[in-house]
């Protein structure tokens, strides 16, 4: 027997299953229910509303094998044969994250194909794999941020069982799994939930209609979101979630949705006896998100820190357009390495106002900030999706990697970064609706034309070649130059893990000083010195070096309390 349920206030609902339409029975709070004896796992079903001519998929569907417009399919979570019973989880503090997109990580673009590359990640030394969104969206491939079924893994990737196989295999290799999820908007095609109930508010954000988190009917909408959060962590054994653009979650309730999530995830973590992490993407520069609830915060475990990226990116590339305008100096780099945020109650020329608030360096550990040189947004939202590989010399790539992986933050790599992949990562879509496809194509071209790009130079998101170009070329991994970068990343991650001074998360223990095209970072008994110039430089480390733990180029010379660094190089030394 299967119990079918759907929330549809003041709307009589019928269920179509096993070739028959059946009236559902009203319950409390606008819910409808029906027990159907002859509807086992694998049965297709749909709901019918009075104003809808076609049957609609379940807003809480766990399986959409025929796409987001097709019927839902009954899925039995208890039927999967997990082998990770001994998995005790992976905590975020001390970890290195690795962000990947299932569709472009391998040529096949499936969960099962990604499993075959897990040994590479183990060899690299990362701890947790962060998957770009995998819940069901319209079309065959896109970035995943247009999802409309918040409980169903995308069928083209392998569906529910495929995701479970991936998580199970990752755990067998000692890797945690973080899933990127989007709760601030529905995608533009296949979002049928709002036809059933008031899932949307009268407001909007950059991606469309905002979600109803604090208006009439919002209690069930919030339940819908939190139940999705708990499902990924419980039923798919995922170790954490990255919450997309939480600043777009408009909630004026006394208990913000994010705090509600934190409370219920903590309860589930206690039940499952393994750590579960919530990581926010936010441009608010407000540590309240990651401040414990006991101290008046929301209690999330970490947040992405774009300021760190901007400080590093602008320093190494010289770019200053758009939101990069305030960044780029060595003073800026010192500010973010010591205090996480650059805009901390300070003027933002891009926004035309003051932005952010300072981080308490003695009470907020650095591991609550996820730092990166590259990610899907910072590459894919460039006109041609070019990586740092296309801009920086090998020497500067190594220096940038050293500064990231010896920082007090939680570092995150973007797939292929570890071998200086040359493949771009571009914006791609596969909308089957001609009008929607044309709107995306034209909007992308207009956006970059405003920034001086010729329309012909901007890749067509709907062209399958744009998607194919964005796939990793794994043959590069063993080639000269690429293999050298990979070896450095392995050594840096291993050094970070084995050196207590580099794992110390406390920001007040970080001291940074700089001179002409060089920067030095003191972290307890260790010093990281970086020369950004094209000529050798002598750099004071303000202590007596014991040994050189790692150097990105041969020829580092120790002279009492100074290092002579080769051009575009960095060194990590232990000091007295």
> Cα 163 to the chain's mean position, in Å?
17
Q: 55 CB contacts (<8 Å, ≥6 apart)?
A: 16, 46, 47, 48, 71
Q: Which residues are annotated as a binding site for substrate?
A: 242-247, 306-310, 376-381
Active site residues: 244, 281
Residue 474 lies in a domain: yes
Per-residue CA distances from 198 to 32, 153, 160, 232, 480 (Å): 15, 24, 27, 24, 57
State the total domains in the chain: 3
Sign of CA dihedral 310, 313, 314, 315: positive
Report whether 18 contacts 71 (CB < 8 A): no
Please name which of 458, 333, 336, 312 lies closest in space to residue 392, comparing C-alpha atoms: 312
Please name which of 299, 27, 48, 308 lies closest in space to residue 192, comparing C-alpha atoms: 48
pLDDT by residue, tens only, the chain of 576 residues: 799 999 999 899 999 999 999 999 999 999 999 999 989 999 999 999 998 889 999 999 999 999 999 999 999 999 999 999 999 999 999 999 999 999 999 999 999 999 999 999 999 999 999 999 999 999 999 999 999 999 999 999 999 999 999 999 999 999 999 999 999 999 999 999 999 999 999 999 989 999 999 999 999 999 999 999 999 999 999 999 999 999 999 999 999 999 999 999 999 999 999 999 999 999 999 999 999 999 999 999 999 999 999 999 999 999 999 999 999 999 999 999 999 999 999 999 999 999 999 999 999 999 999 999 999 999 999 999 999 999 999 999 999 999 999 999 999 999 999 999 999 999 999 999 999 999 999 999 888 888 778 888 899 999 999 999 999 999 999 999 999 999 999 999 999 999 999 999 999 999 999 999 999 999 999 999 999 999 999 999 999 999 999 999 999 999 999 999 999 999 999 999
Residue 73 lies in a domain: no
Same-domain status, 393 and 479: yes
Same-domain status, 454 and 542: no
Residue 33 lies in a domain: yes
Please name which of 163, 114, 118 lies closest in space to residue 136, comparing C-alpha atoms: 163
Backbone φ, ψ for residue 280 (5° rounding): -95, 140
What CATH number is attached to the domain comprising 523?
Answer: 2.60.40.1180
Same-domain status, 164 and 236: yes
Q: Which residues are annotated as a binding site?
A: 242-247, 306-310, 376-381
Residue 80 lies in a domain: no
Final residue before a domain boundary, out of 456, 477, 493 = 493
Q: 210 CB contacts (<8 Å, ≥6 apart)?
A: 184, 185, 200, 201, 203, 204, 248, 250
Cα 42 from Cα 525, distance rounded (Å): 60
Same-domain status, 188 and 293: yes
Q: 182 CB contacts (<8 Å, ≥6 apart)?
A: 133, 135, 144, 145, 147, 244, 245
The angle formed by the CA atoms of residues 84, 87 and 88, to the nearest 5 degrees, is 160
Q: By residue range, what is the domain housing residue 9?
A: 2-56
H runs (alpha helix) in 499-563: 500-503
Same-domain status, 301 and 255: yes
The total number of residues written for the chain in this structure: 576
Same-domain status, 247 and 381: yes
Per-residue CA distances from 108 to 46, 105, 159, 465 (Å): 31, 8, 15, 15
Same-domain status, 25 and 108: no
What CATH number is attached to the domain comprising 308?
Answer: 3.20.20.80
Report whether 334 contacts 513 (CB < 8 A): yes
What CATH number is attached to the domain comprising 27?
Answer: 2.60.40.10
3-class secondary structure, 473 = coil
Q: Which two tokens stand for residue 158?
A: 């392998």
Same-domain status, 302 and 367: yes
Residue 424 lies in a domain: yes
Same-domain status, 167 and 223: yes
Give burial (CB, 10 Å; 0-12/13-18/19+) of 151: buried
Residue 66 lies in a domain: no
Please name which of 191, 176, 78 lies closest in space to residue 129, comparing C-alpha atoms: 176
Backbone φ, ψ for residue 414 (5° rounding): -105, 140
Cα 568 from Cα 402, distance rounded (Å): 12
Report whether 532 contacts 399 (CB < 8 A): yes
> Strands, E, within 111-262: which ranges?
128-131, 135-136, 149-153, 176-181, 200-205, 208-211, 240-243
Burial 272-283 (b: 16+ CB within 10 A, else e): eebbbbbbbbbb
Cα 409 from Cα 412, distance rounded (Å): 9
Tell if the pTM clears 0.85, that is, is over it. Answer: yes
Residue 62 lies in a domain: no
Same-domain status, 31 and 48: yes
Same-domain status, 123 and 33: no
Report which secondary-structure segment, H or E, holds 572: strand 569-575
Same-domain status, 505 and 481: no
End-to-end CA distance of the chain, in Å?
71
Residue 464 lies in a domain: yes
């Amino acid at each position: 027997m299967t119990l079918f349920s759907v929330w549809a206030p003041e709307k009589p609902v019928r269920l179509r299953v096993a070739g028959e339409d059946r009236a559902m029975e009203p319950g409390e709070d606008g819910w409808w229910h029906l027990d159907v004896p002859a509807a086992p796992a694998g049965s297709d079903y749909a709901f019918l509303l009075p104003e809808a001519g076609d049957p609609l998929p379940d807003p809480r569907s766990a399986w959409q094998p025929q796409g987001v417009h097709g019927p839902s399919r009954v899925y039995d979570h208890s039927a999967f044969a997990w082998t990770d019973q001994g998995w005790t989880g992976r905590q975020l503090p001390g970890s290195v994250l690795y962000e990947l997109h299932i569709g472009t990580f391998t040529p096949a673009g499936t969960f099962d194909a990604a499993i075959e590359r897990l040994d590479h990640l183990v060899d690299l030394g990362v701890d947790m794999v962060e998957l770009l969104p995998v819940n069901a969206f319209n079309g065959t491939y896109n970035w995943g941020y247009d999802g409309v079924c918040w409980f169903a893994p995308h069928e083209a990737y392998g569906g529910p069982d495929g995701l479970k196989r991936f998580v199970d295999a990752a755990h067998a290799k000692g890797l945690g799994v973080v899933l990127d999820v989007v709760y601030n908007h529905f995608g533009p095609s296949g979002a049928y939930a709002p036809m059933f109930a008031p899932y949307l508010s009268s407001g909007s954000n950059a991606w469309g209609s905002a979600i109803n988190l604090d208006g009439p009917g919002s209690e069930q909408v919030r339940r819908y979101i939190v139940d999705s959060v708990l499902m990924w962590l419980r039923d798919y054994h995922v170790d954490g979630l990255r919450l997309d653009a939480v600043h777009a979650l408009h909630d004026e309730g006394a208990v913000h949705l994010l705090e509600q999530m934190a409370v219920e995830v903590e309860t589930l973590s206690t039940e499952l006896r393994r750590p579960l992490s919530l990581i926010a993407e936010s441009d608010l520069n407000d540590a309240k998100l990651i401040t414990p609830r006991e101290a008046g915060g929301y209690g999330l475990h970490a947040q992405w820190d774009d300021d760190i990226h901007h400080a590093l990116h602008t320093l190494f590339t010289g770019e200053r357009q758009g939101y990069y305008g305030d960044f780029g100096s060595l003073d800026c780099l010192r500010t973010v390495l010591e205090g996480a945020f650059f805009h901390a109650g300070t003027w933002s020329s891009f926004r035309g106002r003051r932005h952010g608030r300072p981080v308490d360096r003695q009470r907020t550990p650095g591991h609550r900030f996820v730092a990166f040189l590259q990610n899907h947004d910072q590459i894919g939202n460039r006109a041609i999706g070019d990586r740092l590989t296309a801009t920086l010399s090998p020497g500067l790539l190594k220096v940038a990697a050293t500064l990231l992986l010896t920082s007090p933050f939680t570092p995150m790599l973007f797939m292929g970064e570890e071998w200086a992949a040359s493949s771009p990562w571009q914006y791609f879509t596969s909308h089957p609706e001609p009008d929607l496809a044309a709107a995306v194509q034209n909007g992308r071209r207009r956006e970059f034309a405003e920034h001086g790009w010729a329309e012909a130079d901007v890749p067509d998101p709907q062209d399958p070649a744009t998607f194919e170009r964005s796939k990793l070329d794994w043959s590069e991994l063993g080639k000269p130059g690429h293999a050298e970068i990979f070896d450095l990343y392995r050594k840096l991650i291993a050094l970070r893990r084995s050196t207590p001074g580099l794992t110390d998360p406390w920001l007040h223990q970080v001291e940074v000083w700089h001179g002409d095209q060089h920067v030095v970072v003191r972290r307890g008994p260790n010093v990281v010195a970086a020369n950004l110039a094209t000529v050798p430089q002598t750099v004071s480390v303000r202590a007596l070096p014991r040994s050189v733990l790692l150097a990105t180029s041969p020829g580092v010379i120790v002279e009492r309390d100074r290092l002579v660094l080769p051009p575009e190089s960095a060194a990590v030394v232990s000091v007295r």
